[in-house]
Amino acid sequence: MVMNGFETIKVVADTQMLPFDCGNTELNGFLFNDAKTHLKERIAVTYLIIGEGRTVAYWSYLNDKISVSDMNGNRESFIKRIASRLGHEIKDKEYESFPAVKIGRLGVGKEYAGSGIGSHIINHTKTLFVSEGSSSGCRFITVDAFKESIPFYRKNGFEFMSGRDRKSETRQMYCDLLQM
Ligand SMILES: CC(C)(COP(=O)(O)OP(=O)(O)OC[C@H]1O[C@@H](n2cnc3c(N)ncnc32)[C@H](O)[C@@H]1OP(=O)(O)O)[C@@H](O)C(=O)NCCC(=O)NCCS
């Protein structure tokens, strides 16, 4: 992903982390304390946009799925919201889940917030996981969105998974990679 002369790199064991502050202590902490451990343990892979001597933004990917249990076990909701996107009839017991990629963390440096970088990362993800060269099937993007970032995800085509987390600090959201 190329952006305004910034560089995108994958975090590896000896990546030197440049300063980063997105205004959220937990997200800042993940980058400096956990990103490399998650890579080593194959839990998540983290990418950075770097430039101007700092980390401009970062995000991480891990494998996920959307299941009937994400809809409170309600198969009717699962079929209506998720399975119906296939555009053909779904038989009983067919498709208990669909493959997804989760954006585990996403943060844009305070200095760069609101300039389109977050949306660019979402669009890049959409292109990456539906490309014909992809090595595995993946139909959805999922996120656990902090309340403050919900307008950002809505703007980028994400919907709520269910109403059960309506009052939580984070809400499960998803986006169909084939309906961009
Ligand atoms: C939320 C975030 C990833 C959005 O990235 P971004 O590059 O700022 O967003 P874009 O410029 O592509 O999109 C702009 C939209 O994002 C939202 N947004 C912009 N600045 C934001 C901020 N500081 N915090 C939350 N949302 C913000 C607004 O809805 C905005 O739409 P508008 O311009 O119509 O009002 C980024 O602001 C951020 O890292 N915030 C702090 C950490 C966070 O909440 N991360 C999400 C974890 S789930």
Put simply, whether the predicted model's pTM sits higher than 0.85 gets the answer yes
Q: What mean pLDDT comes out for the span 40-63?
A: 97
Return the pLDDT at 1. Answer: 64
The parent domain of residue 151 ranges over: 7-179
Q: Is the CB of 22 under 6 A from ligand 1?
A: yes
Does residue 102 fall inside a structural domain? yes
Residue that the structure tokens 């194959």 belong to:
42
Q: Is 167 helix (H, G, I), strand (E, B) or coil?
A: coil
* Domain of residue 84, CATH code: 3.40.630.30
Q: How far apart are CA 149 and CA 67, in angstroms?
A: 24
Q: Closest Cα partner for 56 from 14, 18, 99?
A: 18
Does residue 1 fall inside a structural domain? no
Does residue 2 fall inside a structural domain? no
Atom of ligand 1 nearest to the CA of 110: 23
Q: Tally the domains of the chain.
A: 1
CA of 131 to the centre of ligand 1 (A): 26
User: Average pLDDT of the chain?
Assistant: 94
Q: Closest Cα partner for 170 from 151, 150, 152, 146?
A: 146
pLDDT in tens, 100-152: 999 999 999 999 999 999 999 999 999 999 988 889 999 999 999 999 999 99
Return the pLDDT at 5. Answer: 83
- Burial (CB count <10 Å: 0-12, 13-18, 19+), residue 155: exposed
Does residue 139 fall inside a structural domain? yes
